Amino acid sequence: MPDVVSYIREENIAVIMIDNPPVNAMSHAVRKGVWEAMDKLNADEGADAAVLICAGRTFIAGADITEFDKPPEDPRLPDLIARMEQSPKLLVAAMHGTALGGGLETALGCHYRCALATAQVGLPEVNLGLLPGAGGTQRLPRLAGVETALEWILSGRHVSAAEAARHGVIDEIVAGDLREDAVAYAKRLLQSGAPVRRVREMKIDRTGISEDFFAGYRPQLAKQHRGFYSPPRILDCVQAAVELPFDEALRLERMLFDECKASPQSRAQRALFFAERTISKIPDVPKDTPTRDINKVAIIGAGTMGGGIAMCFANVGMPVELLELQQDALDRGIGTIRRNYEATVKRGRLTGEQVQERMALIKGALDYSDIADADLVIEAVFENMDIKKEVFSKLDGLCKQGAIMASNTSTLDVNEIAAVTARPEDVIGLHFFAPANVMRLLEVVRGAKTARDVIASAMALGKRLKKNSVLVGVCFGFVGNRMFFPYLREAQRMMLEGAAPERIDKVAYDWGMAMGPHAVADLSGLDVLYKVIEEWDYKPDDPTFFRVTKLLHDMGRYGQKTGAGIFKYEGRTPMPDPQVAEAVGREAAKLGIEQRDIRDDEIIERLFYSMINEGALILEEGIALRAGDIDVVWTSGYGMPRYRGGPMTYADMTGLKNVRAAMLKYRDRYGDRYWRPAPLLERLAREGNTFSGWRAA
């Protein structure tokens, strides 16, 4: 028997122990080991029951995802679970840590389940573009009910032991030593004459499940999981659990699982899964790099960004001081924070008591001296280099030694900001994304002289704030905004060529983006975009470059904030505006740009291939460490759908030769100012390689 699984007997109870660190993934070796343990159990005349338990910090936390792209090896998990369920000897799963995916499915194949109160269970396969493929869609509805099972599977969330027990998924919560208590529980079950209870033989409670329940569920599902491949198939499987015999429904589940696994969406989501777990790996900042204590945090600026950043800290229980130099500005900022929290209460996501607890963590300050003892100061003032330099000059003379001084700049040179201080090693960029209290992305911007322990501290802080923290280098716009500019540049250029902005946005939205490029520009503010473009030292000498932004800015159309930008607004709903179409048409005529019909596929190529090419330049320049880091930036901060995997994974799956060919097509039409393939793209396309497989020399 492989070492990853052991079998011993304590009196009349066998203990099957899985020890496959770090998370006891259900790899082939584990499956084989458990299968052989079942052989031993069946042959062991002294064993009346068995406990399945795991060593280390968790129960089985899922399948071994690295095996998904390899030929399957027997025993497959569904076959193993079926064998366990058919055991004539009583089986008890003893859970701690997390029992997720194939781990929970394995537990559902046991006859009874006990767990520590701290355990969590769940079926998160939807987050990988999959569905539970080892009986999860069939057994969970039999225990928890149809609606609960659908909610758990479609959300992929982790469920507490207490909630799982309320729904009959956990039979016993234990408080002492898990192994001792599980063995004792198995003995009590035997003594009480408890039957071998197979979930597959249970009837599904159809209370509240009308004949048209599933048909009525589909429109809601399509809205909540727009564009995703696996959720409708999850619904198909749960519907089959209700309507078909168990074995027939199980075969459907397995067929649909295999379809999902082979889909481009699942491959993209699995790539993103690994990318999100790799972003913390920094070659010259090892895991054991010391970090600085960050207990007292101060934020300069109580505007939209400063207030949102303050909420990030309060949301995880960290006290924060919010500095404004005028009382009315401070009052407005704190008032906005309170209104944001109260809106969350109305949506049922917070209680009034929780709001009070979080507001109590946010203190106002009116003088720089009030924040002199902060461990971390984050500047969130207006995006202007002179203003930021002034702030950092003050901080340099004020902050205690060892304090980290961070800028929330979204485009400006962190090295230039750091240069006004006598301690540039303490300066770093912490670029939060609006709304900061919602968006998961944090770009950690490493300056030329930023100390390694400051980098390690910033990355650790991001994890504490529950952000996807991506380390990036210094350039205009870093990673996210640098790639956003060609995306928006092409959107506006296509307006000049005759494509209506609402059509461009619809094509982008239908491709999967949370919002189209023009709606994003209006939301961010065309006045802000105009100022950034005007102050961009190295912008191209091109009269068409963001010409629409300048045109509308000069017309006083700043976006949602003025009720009119690229679109006009009824509340927050964007509406096409003939006035914009006429003005853009006149501007195109002045520039000598002929208007024409533009196909959807051209819109997609110009929006995303321009972005991808910029990503290739970013990689080669070392601004991002890996292609996966870029993917995390775009899926966590810019509304790119997870099922695309991010721009670089999308490029890999499209084929870099195809991306390069399209680049050359547009170069022939527009010249090589914007459409010259990046050297890295050229090389990888020629070699037949991918961005994901590329590593810097």
Angle between helices 600-621 and 679-687 (to 10 degrees): 100
| Low-confidence winner among 152-166, 534-548, 572-586 (lowest mean pLDDT) | 534-548
Residue pair 274/642 in contact (Cβ under 8 Å)? The answer is: no
pLDDT, residue 262, reads 96
Q: Is the pLDDT of residue 362 over 80?
A: yes
Average pLDDT, integer, range 84-106: 98
**Cα 284 from Cα 658, distance rounded (Å):** 35
Residue pair 228/643 in contact (Cβ under 8 Å)? The answer is: yes
**Side chain identity at residue 146, one-letter code:** V
pLDDT tens-digit readout, 373-403: 999 999 999 889 999 999 999 999 999 999 9
Average pLDDT, integer, range 300-312: 95
Sorting pLDDT into bands at 50, 70 and 90, what band is 69?
Answer: confident
pLDDT, residue 2, reads 54
Average pLDDT, integer, range 20-34: 96
Residue pair 291/457 in contact (Cβ under 8 Å)? The answer is: yes
Mean per-residue pLDDT of the chain: 96
Residue pair 53/178 in contact (Cβ under 8 Å)? The answer is: yes
pLDDT, residue 565, reads 97
pLDDT, residue 66, reads 86
pLDDT, residue 434, reads 86
Active site members: 105, 125
**Burial call 50-71: b when 16+ CB within 10 Å, e when fewer:** bbbbbeeebbbbbbbeeeeeee
In the chain, % of residues over pLDDT 90? 94
Q: Which of the following CATH numbers is that of domain 603-697: 3.40.190.10, 1.10.1040.50, 1.50.10.10, 2.60.40.1180?
A: 1.10.1040.50
Q: Is the pLDDT of residue 208 over 90?
A: no
Across the chain, which distance is largest between two alpha carbons, in Å? 92
pLDDT tens-digit readout, 100-140: 999 999 999 999 999 999 999 999 999 999 999 999 999 99
Residue pair 684/654 in contact (Cβ under 8 Å)? The answer is: no
**Cα 458 from Cα 442, distance rounded (Å):** 10
Half-sphere exposure of 627 (CA within 13 A, CB side): 25
What fold is seen in the domain 297-454? Rossmann fold (3.40.50)
pLDDT, residue 1, reads 45
Q: pTM (2 decimals)?
A: 0.94
Residue with tokens 């998160």: 124
In sign, the C-alpha dihedral spanning 31, 32, 33, 36 is: positive
Sorting pLDDT into bands at 50, 70 and 90, what band is 535?
Answer: confident
Structure tokens, 253: 């589940």
C-alpha to C-alpha distances, 424 to 379, 450, 487, 580, nearest whole angstrom? 15, 6, 33, 46
Average pLDDT, integer, range 581-600: 96
The helix, strand and coil proportions of the chain, stated in percent and rounded to the nearest 5, come to: 50, 15, 35
What is the bridge-based pairing of β-strands 404-407 and 427-432?
parallel
Sorting pLDDT into bands at 50, 70 and 90, what band is 554?
Answer: very high
Average pLDDT, integer, range 129-153: 98
Strand partners, 159: 121
Residue with tokens 């900042």: 285
Which residues, at least 6 apart from 495, have a Cβ–Cβ distance to it below 8 Å? 501, 504, 518, 548, 566, 584
**Cα 678 from Cα 616, distance rounded (Å):** 6
DSSP structure string for 174-229: E-S-HHHHHHHHHHHHHHTT-----GGGSPP--TT--TTHHHHHHHHHHHHTTT-S
**Side chain identity at residue 419, one-letter code:** A
Which one, of 313, 311, 330, lies nearest residue 374 by Cα? 313
Please, what is the end-to-end C-alpha distance for the chain in angstroms? Answer: 42
pLDDT, residue 686, reads 97
What is the bridge-based pairing of β-strands 120-122 and 98-100?
parallel
For residue 282, give the DSSP letter: B
Q: Is the pLDDT of residue 688 over 90?
A: yes
* Count of C-beta atoms within a 10 Å radius of residue 482: 20
Average pLDDT, integer, range 33-53: 97
**Cα 393 from Cα 372, distance rounded (Å):** 13
**Cα 187 from Cα 182, distance rounded (Å):** 9
Angle between helices 547-554 and 480-496 (to 10 degrees): 80
Domain boundaries, the chain: 5-262, 297-454, 475-598, 603-697
Sorting pLDDT into bands at 50, 70 and 90, what band is 439?
Answer: very high
Answer whether 475-598 and 603-697 agree in fold: yes
Looking at domain 475-598, its CATH superfamily turns out to be N-(1-d-carboxylethyl)-l-norvaline Dehydrogenase; domain 2 (1.10.1040.10)
pLDDT tens-digit readout, 605-648: 999 999 999 999 999 999 999 999 999 999 999 999 999 999 99
**Burial call 650-659: b when 16+ CB within 10 Å, e when fewer:** bbbbbebeeb
CATH number for the domain whose boundaries are 5-262: 3.90.226.10
Residue with tokens 């699982």: 257
